Structure 1
Amino acid sequence: MERRALLALAAALPTAAPRTARAQRRAVRLIVPAAPGGAIDVLGRLYAPKLAEALDQTWVVENRSGANNTLGAAEVARSAPDGQTFLVNADIHVMAKAVMRNAPYDPVTDFTPIARLANAPMVLVGHPRSTPEGGVPALVAAMKANPNRFSFANSGTGAMGHLATASFQSRAGTEAIIVAYRGTAPALTDVVAGNAQLMVAPLGSALPQIQDGRLRAYAIMGPNRSSRAPTIPTAAEGGFPDLNFTLWYAIWAPKGFPDADADRLNAAVQAASRDPAIAARVAEQGAEPVTEDRAAFTRFVAAEAERNGAIARAAGIEPE
């Protein structure tokens, strides 16, 4: 009887062992370098379960906010490229050297680009009682006639809205002061209140106030009108072509992450972005999913880093 019992136990072990290994496997960490509730956090928490399911893993989202998103990114840069730690961040990631003195990492060479998740259009808005009707030409004329009457709210040093504002003013020949805030929400709140007159803001964040008349929309800062707000013209339609500033969100691994594993994760991200339920949730954030292979994303990151760095230097944006 004892021998039969031992044989039965031995026969059961090969099937039990993999389950034990799976149960004890470390969870994959997806680092969000921003506070909970923002677009980066929402998108990270939206994609994480889909990626975990596709890759037969457990993913947990961890918020490590601070220093213009560089604290969380630095943690990922220091991590081993073993597939246990990833970064989800916005376009501000490639501006680390422009916004932080002695940044502890290079945002391009110290990371492995995995996949872009989504793009989100930006819009130039104004306080309706402090800015003129008549579109961008009327706004520029008013800013030149009364330069001390206007200021721009800015969500963060080196952020896409900051770069768009600097580029717009350079081309328009205006010199309104740019006031830095700690994030999009407080900056928009001050424009709605009239404490600042203008802002280049994410369309998803500004659209409710545009629709109820608390903000005046001047232009989409991209090549095309938005399907969510088709009546808002582009900057090109207002006489300012090539003002193309779009928010984007993506996933990176530490430097040295194997190419085969990176391609596999990129494919999982693309599959998630094609899921109608994911696309609908992304749209709720005022964004659109992106599907592109890893080579295309790598080229995109390099081009964005070069262009945005040049804009920051021309605008005199100094690291803090």
Structure 2
Amino acid sequence: MIITRRAALMGLAGSALAPRTSFAQRKIVRLVVPAAAGGAIDVIGRLYAQRIAPALDESWVVENKAGASNTLGATDVARSAPDGTTYLTNADIHIMAKHVMRNVSYDPLTDFTPISRFATSPMVLIGSSKTPQTMPALIADMKARPNEYSFANSALGSMGHLATESFKRRTGTSAELVNYRGTAPAITDVVAAQVQLMVAPLGSALPFISDGKVRAFAIMGAQRSKLLPNVPTAGELGLADFDFTLWYGLWGPKGLPAATVQRVNVTVQAASKDREIVDKLTALGAEAVTEDAASFARFIAAETLRANRVVEEAGIKPGG
């Protein structure tokens, strides 16, 4: 069962007066989402929570704690007891905290227990309708008129941020980075040609691509997307080994018992094979992942090393 925090508290208060019910006996678990409601992290986290909670016979309370490049909610979880009552769902931006924020009270690697990825989603390089029609023509124009181009960026340290900086370095181009608070306002300004380019999540950009409001230049991953089969990968266009793919996962606080990690991981893997979840993720431009906790930990370690290289090469420095 997935419920609101208020309902959970009312249920607990009422259990002292009312007869014991199956709800009153269920453990209340907080799933902290460090982003605004309605975004991809929130939607995917809730989608999985709806399967995990009944499978574990628990009541999961989803709490949105957005702000500071997703660090407010993550801080809450890092400070929580490792007793199986608090979890964090976040995206790849989780491992970037110390690269973009000066004052982060936790270490994204050592202060959390990885449980599993939920899903992955490709990113796509998009441009306003006023940009050249192909990526080679775009790159040539960016070199000829560097002051005419800017990139929208949904958040400091996001996968789009890393992909943008890597794209500029690999192509020998330059363009101003314009930071936004979220993907939606960033894409809105690309549609309006207030900024010219963005590396955007496929699921968020797809409606605007389909309507012809923005151009899709390249999938920024290893494979073409089934949702945009005619859009080549960056590799096909000459950027070898250019793979920036969004991913979403589940963590517990540091010290979460191995038995609890295994128990939750098994339910996540089962959910990732559920046809309804697979279909809903596909509609979001995402793909379910099945992996054990050790595989997720190894994946995070490899992603962190790659992110560190991009940060160093691009000269990204901590902000506020």
Both proteins in one fold, TM over 0.5: yes
Count of aligned residue pairs for this structure pair: 301
**What SS is found at the alignment partner of 1:233?**
coil
| More displaced 10-residue stretch of structure 1: 20-29 or 288-297 | 20-29
Matched residue, 2:104: 103
Matches of residues 1-320 of structure 1 in structure 2 within 5 Å? 23-129=24-130, 131-133=131-133, 135-320=134-319
Deviation at 1:208, TM superposition (A): 1.1
Q: Deviations over 1:159-181 (max 9, x none)?
A: 00010000000010011111111
Which amino acid counterpart does residue 307 of structure 1 have in structure 2? R
Q: Deviations over 1:62-91 (max 9, x none)?
A: 111110100000000000000000000010
Q: Deviations over 1:265-318 (max 9, x none)?
A: 111000011000111111222111111111111100111112112212221212
The 1-side partners of 2:137 and 2:290 are apart by: 38
Matched residue, 2:8: none
The 2-side partners of 1:113 and 1:38 are apart by: 22
| Structure 1 segments of 4+ aligned residues over 2 angstroms from their partners | 18-22
Deviation at 1:49, TM superposition (A): 2.0
Q: Does the CA contact (< 8 Å) of 1:137 and 1:239 recur in 2?
A: no
**What SS is found at the alignment partner of 2:58?**
coil
Matched residue, 1:11: none
Unaligned runs of 5+ residues in structure 2 are: 1-18
Which amino acid counterpart does residue 265 of structure 2 have in structure 1? N
Matched residue, 1:15: none
The 2-side partners of 1:224 and 1:282 are apart by: 17
The 1-side partners of 2:200 and 2:281 are apart by: 17
Unaligned runs of 5+ residues in structure 1 are: 1-17
The 1-side partners of 2:318 and 2:283 are apart by: 33
The alignment-based identity, stated in percent, is: 63
| More displaced 10-residue stretch of structure 1: 216-225 or 51-60 | 51-60
Q: Does the CA contact (< 8 Å) of 2:123 and 2:219 recur in 1?
A: yes
Which amino acid counterpart does residue 192 of structure 1 have in structure 2? V
The 2-side partners of 1:188 and 1:299 are apart by: 33
Find the structure with the greater CA-based Rg: 1
Matched residue, 2:4: none
Q: Does the CA contact (< 8 Å) of 1:91 and 1:248 recur in 2?
A: yes
Q: Deviations over 1:206-248 (max 9, x none)?
A: 1111111111110000010001110000001111111100011
Matched residue, 2:6: none
Q: Does the CA contact (< 8 Å) of 1:120 and 1:288 recur in 2?
A: yes
**What SS is found at the alignment partner of 1:27?**
strand
Deviation at 1:97, TM superposition (A): 0.6
**What SS is found at the alignment partner of 1:36?**
coil
Cα distance change, pair 26–146 in 1 and its aligned pair in 2 (3 A): same
Q: Does the CA contact (< 8 Å) of 1:157 and 1:317 recur in 2?
A: no
The 2-side partners of 1:158 and 1:40 are apart by: 15
The 2-side partners of 1:311 and 1:300 are apart by: 17
Q: Does the CA contact (< 8 Å) of 2:218 and 2:233 recur in 1?
A: yes
**What SS is found at the alignment partner of 1:305?**
helix
Which amino acid counterpart does residue 118 of structure 2 have in structure 1? L
The 2-side partners of 1:229 and 1:25 are apart by: 44
Matched residue, 1:4: none
The 1-side partners of 2:129 and 2:242 are apart by: 23
Q: Does the CA contact (< 8 Å) of 2:26 and 2:57 recur in 1?
A: no
The 2-side partners of 1:219 and 1:32 are apart by: 30
Deviation at 1:20, TM superposition (A): 6.1
